Structure 1
Amino acid sequence: MSERRFDPAKFAKLDNPERRKALPPKKLLGMLAIQENDDILDLGAGTGYFSLPAATMTKGTIYALDVEPQMLEMLKERSAEQGVVNIQFIEGKIEELPLADALVDHVIASYVLHEIDPLSAGLTEIHRALKKGGKCLCLEWEKKETEQGPPLHHRIHSSDLQQAMEAAGFTIIEKSFPTDQHYILIAQKNG
């Protein structure tokens, strides 16, 4: 496992009451204006923090991608328990998405972009997988010392991510700071 990648043994950190209070998944997903039949790609889907609520917001397919098979197994179990049937589980890397071009209406990139090396390769793949005009919700740790989160040298400053996304063919349509530790970029595929 890459030292940048999240350790599946720490899965409880992904979904806890404090995180849900500070970063409510349905509220954040509302920033994408998800339509009834939209298809969504959740990068680093983990235990389903975004995949499961997104699956209730569309009749389309949720592509839950994770590099760790253990995380996908947990998500499969949670999906079955909740009776969710529109999630497709995909093992793979963001830098090499095993998906067709222009497949999805939206991409969720929650706490995963800092794990991609090089970042440009991952952003190129996200752009490729999105339909024209599709949106990407990026939730990341700001590049400053905090008690939680990845090491400072792995983090991407919000202005640096904005520049990288614009260089990859996106327009930033919204930038916000839901907490003093996190930022959100809503990026739309140009052209």
Structure 2
Amino acid sequence: MNHIHHCNEPDKKFLNKITFLDSRQREQLIPPEDLISQMPIQKNHTLLDVGAGTGFFTIPMAESTSNKVYAMDPDERMLGVIENKAAEKGLINIELIQDYIENLNIQHNSVDFVMASLILHEVSSLTKALSNIFEVIKTGGHLLCLEYEKDDLIIEGPPMSIRIGSEELEKVLTLTGFEIVKKTKINESIYTVLAVKK
């Protein structure tokens, strides 16, 4: 006899989140492949996607290097989505880490490029999160942050109270020891900051 599996509320919420992460964001941002192709990523680089979600950036990152890509997210189910996508594409270079950026525990000076896409406004301490990222990045390695601008005219996105304005982010990055390479406005509400560890 077949059992019909009913979707309970948390599952429905999770599925909605996946739908959001995979579609709405995809429309809002420039295509992830385009963004990744513009980054200083080489074929032998070790990469890290913090707050990887559904693998929106993890998958194209894994396709751009023959080395390891760490996909970090506190939600085990999100990592399951990435695992399935990787299997579909035959990617075997992704290592899943279930944790928060504040607990980032990868070998120091071992990563060439870190992607932090729409995640920094969710951390409990921006300084701690960026310091952890700084420690794992090699000298000469890059960090790309993608965030919502803190501007009252921009309704879309997370609550204004938790957003990180681009100037504030640049300041904290600089204080952490990063050097700002460039700042780009992707659209009305989203900006990127590319920083390097000198």
Offset of 1:67 from its aligned partner? 0.7
For residues 64-101 of structure 1, give each alpha carbon's deviation from its aligned partner in whole angstroms, at most 9, with x where no partner exists: 00011110011111111111111000111101102110
Q: Give the whole-Å Cα distance in 2 for the aligned partners of 1:17 and 1:23.
A: 11
Q: Is 2:62 the partner of 1:63?
A: no
- Answer whether contact 2:26 2:32 (CA < 8 A) is retained: no
1:14 equivalenced with 2:21 (yes/no): yes
User: C-alpha displacement at 1:174, in angstroms?
Assistant: 0.6
1:15 is paired with a residue of what secondary structure?
helix
2: CA distance, partners of 1:35 / 1:141: 28
Q: What is the CA-CA distance between 1:141 and the residue it aligns to?
A: 0.6
Shift, 1:21, TM fit: 6.2
Matched, 1:175 2:157: no
Alignment pair present for 1:82 and 2:72: no
1:163 aligned counterpart, secondary structure = helix
Alignment of 1:82-121 (within 5 A): 82-121=89-128
Aligned to 2:60: 53
Alpha-carbon distance, 1:18 to partner: 6.3
Name which one, 1 or 2, has greater alpha-carbon Rg. Answer: 2
Matched length: 184
Query: Structure 2 vs 1, CA of residues 105 and 13 (structure 1 numbering), >3 Å: closer, same or farther?
Result: same
Identity value in percent: 38
CA distance in 1, matches of 2:106, 2:25: 33
Determine the structure 1 residue equivalent to 2:174. 166
Match of 2:156 in 1: 148
Q: What RMSD, in angstroms, separates the aligned Cα atoms of the two structures?
A: 1.5
Q: SS state of the match for residue 41, structure 1?
A: strand
Distance 1:8 1:103 in 2: 33
Q: Where does structure 1 differ by over 4 angstroms across 4 or more consecutive aligned residues?
A: none
Does the CA-based 8 Å contact 1:38-1:104 persist in structure 2?
Answer: yes
Q: TM-score scaled to structure 2, two decimals? A: 0.88
Match of 2:143 among 111, 136, 139: 136
Select the residue among 47, 63, 66 that pairs with 1:40: 47
How far did 1:148 drift?
Answer: 2.9
Distance 1:22 1:59 in 2: 25
Does structure 2 conserve the Cα–Cα contact (< 8 Å) formed by 1:102 and 1:130? yes
SS at 2:38 equivalent: helix
Describe the shift of the 1:102–1:182 C-alpha distance in structure 2 as closer, same or farther (beyond 3 A).
same
Q: 1:128 to 1:18 in 2, by over 3 A?
A: closer
- The CA deviation string for residues 106-138 of structure 1, in whole angstroms up to 9 with x for no partner, is 000000111111110000000001000100011
Give ranges in structure 1 of 5+ residues lacking alignment.
Answer: 1-6
What is the TM-score with the length of structure 1 in the denominator?
0.91
CA contact (8 A) 1:176 1:183 kept: yes
State the shift of 1:8 in Å. 4.2
Q: Does structure 2 conserve the Cα–Cα contact (< 8 Å) formed by 1:42 and 1:63?
A: yes
Residue pair 1:8, 1:68 contacting (<8 A) in 2 also: no
| 1:186 aligned residue | 194
| Partner Cα distance (1:8, 1:31) in 2 | 31
